[in-house]
Amino acid sequence: MKKVTGWVTALMLASATVPVAGVVTAAEENSVMTLVNNARVLTVAQEGPTVTYQLLVGQAVQTYYTQNKSVDVVAGQSISFQAKDDRIVRFTTVATVESARQVNEKIMAKDTAARTLDLELTGVVKLAPTYTVLKHLNGQYVQGSLADVFVGAQNVSASINQSGEADLLIIEGKTPVNNMRIGVMTSGFATLEHAQFDVKSAGGMQVLDKKNGQTFTIAADALVTMTAKDGGVQVQLNGAPLYNTTGRLYVQPASDALLQVMTFKRAYGNPSYRGWFEITPSVTPGMLNVTNEVQLENYLYQVVPSEMPASFGLEALKAQSVAARTYALSDYYSSRYAKRGFHVDDSTLSQVYNNSAENALTTQAVNETRGLVMQSNGALVDARYYSTSGGFGAAKHEVWADGNGQFPGTPLSYLTAKSYAYDPANPGQLLQLNTQDEAALNAFYKDLSYTGYDSDSLYFRWKVAFSKAELEKTINSQLGVRWGADPGAILTKQADGTFASKPIPATGAGTISNLVVTKRGAGGNMMELVVEGSTGTYKILKEFNIRFTIRPSKTYTGSVGDVLLQRAKGGSTEYIASNALRNYTILPSSFATFDLARDASGALTGVTFYGGGNGHGVGMSQYGASMLGGKGWTFQQILDAYYAGMQVQDVYVQ
Q: Strand 288-295 to strand 179-183: parallel, antiparallel, or no bridges (unpaired)?
A: antiparallel
Q: Report H helices in 308-426.
A: 314-334, 360-368
**Is pLDDT above 70 for 6?**
no
What pLDDT was estimated at residue 31? 61
Q: What is the DSSP string of 408-440?
A: S----TTS--EE-BB-TTSTTSBP---TT-HHH
Q: Report H helices in 436-499.
A: 438-446, 468-485
What pLDDT was estimated at residue 363? 98
Across 395-430, b (16+ Cβ under 10 Å) vs e yields bbbbbbbeeeeebbbeebebbbbbbbbbbeeeeeeb
Rounded to two decimals, the pTM is 0.87
Provide the percentage of residues in the chain whose pLDDT is more than 70: 94
**Is pLDDT above 90 for 274?**
yes
* pLDDT tens per residue, range 11-32: 333 333 444 444 455 555 556 7
What does DSSP assign to residue 203?
A: T
Task: Name the nearest CA neighbour of 286 among 238, 236, 231, 248.
Answer: 231
Radius of gyration of the chain (CA): 31
The domains of the chain are located at 2-97, 101-172, 194-286, 296-383+619-654, 387-616
Cα–Cα distance, 127 to 166 (Å, whole number): 5
What pLDDT was estimated at residue 11? 33
Cα–Cα distance, 115 to 125 (Å, whole number): 9
Cα–Cα distance, 472 to 463 (Å, whole number): 18
- 481 phi-psi bin (left φ>0, alpha ψ -120 to 50, beta other): alpha
Residue pair 288/233 in contact (Cβ under 8 Å)? The answer is yes
Mean pLDDT of the chain: 92
Binned at pLDDT 50, 70 and 90, residue 377 comes out as very high
Number of residues that this document lists for the chain:
654
* pLDDT tens per residue, range 114-123: 999 999 999 9
Residue pair 613/459 in contact (Cβ under 8 Å)? The answer is yes
Bridge partner residues of 647 (DSSP):
375
Task: Name the nearest CA neighbour of 652 among 203, 124, 176, 304.
Answer: 176
Task: Name the nearest CA neighbour of 459 among 573, 585, 615, 315.
Answer: 615
What pLDDT was estimated at residue 60? 86
For residues 528-556, average pLDDT? 98
What pLDDT was estimated at residue 654? 62
CA dihedral 418, 422, 428, 432 (to 10 degrees): -60
What pLDDT was estimated at residue 100? 52
What does DSSP assign to residue 252?
A: E
Binned at pLDDT 50, 70 and 90, residue 71 comes out as confident
Other C-beta atoms lying within 10 Å of the C-beta of residue 261: 22
For residues 124-143, average pLDDT? 91
Across 444-476, b (16+ Cβ under 10 Å) vs e yields bbeebebbbbbbbbbbbbbbbbbbbebbbbbbb
Across 296-329, b (16+ Cβ under 10 Å) vs e yields bbbbbbbbbbbbbbbebbebbbbbbbbbbbbbbb
What pLDDT was estimated at residue 10? 33
What pLDDT was estimated at residue 625? 98
- 613 phi-psi bin (left φ>0, alpha ψ -120 to 50, beta other): left
What pLDDT was estimated at residue 653? 84
Binned at pLDDT 50, 70 and 90, residue 59 comes out as confident
Cα–Cα distance, 350 to 352 (Å, whole number): 7
**Is pLDDT above 80 for 204?**
yes
What pLDDT was estimated at residue 49? 87
* pLDDT tens per residue, range 233-263: 999 999 999 999 998 999 999 988 999 999 9
Binned at pLDDT 50, 70 and 90, residue 46 comes out as confident
* pLDDT tens per residue, range 427-461: 889 999 999 999 999 999 999 999 999 999 999 99
Cα 25 to chain centroid, rounded: 60
Cα 518 to chain centroid, rounded: 32
* pLDDT tens per residue, range 302-358: 999 999 999 999 999 999 999 999 999 999 999 999 999 999 999 999 999 999 999
Across 575-600, b (16+ Cβ under 10 Å) vs e yields eeeeebbebbebbbbbbbbbeeeeee
75-79, 534-538, 598-602: least confident range: 75-79
What pLDDT was estimated at residue 98? 47
Backbone angles phi, psi at 311, to 5 degrees: -65, -15
* pLDDT tens per residue, range 501-529: 999 999 999 999 999 999 999 999 999 99
What pLDDT was estimated at residue 96? 60
540 Cβ contact list (under 8 Å, min separation 6): 479, 482, 489, 490, 528, 529, 530, 531, 546, 549
∠ at Cα 421 (417, 427), nearest 5°? 135
What pLDDT was estimated at residue 427? 84
Cα–Cα distance, 181 to 334 (Å, whole number): 13
Q: What is the DSSP string of 74-108?
A: -TT-EEEEEEETTEEEEEEEEEEE---EEEE--EE
CA dihedral 208, 212, 213, 219 (to 10 degrees): -30
What pLDDT was estimated at residue 324? 97
Cα–Cα distance, 305 to 271 (Å, whole number): 13
Could you tell me which residue, 227 or 79, shows the higher pLDDT?
227
Residue pair 294/201 in contact (Cβ under 8 Å)? The answer is no
Coil, strand, or helix at residue 13? strand
Q: Which amino acid is at 471?
A: L
> Order of strands, edge to edge, in the sheet holding 205-209?
214-218, 205-209, 249-253, 276-281, 288-295, 179-183, 344-345
∠ at Cα 349 (623, 301), nearest 5°? 60
Cα–Cα distance, 408 to 616 (Å, whole number): 15
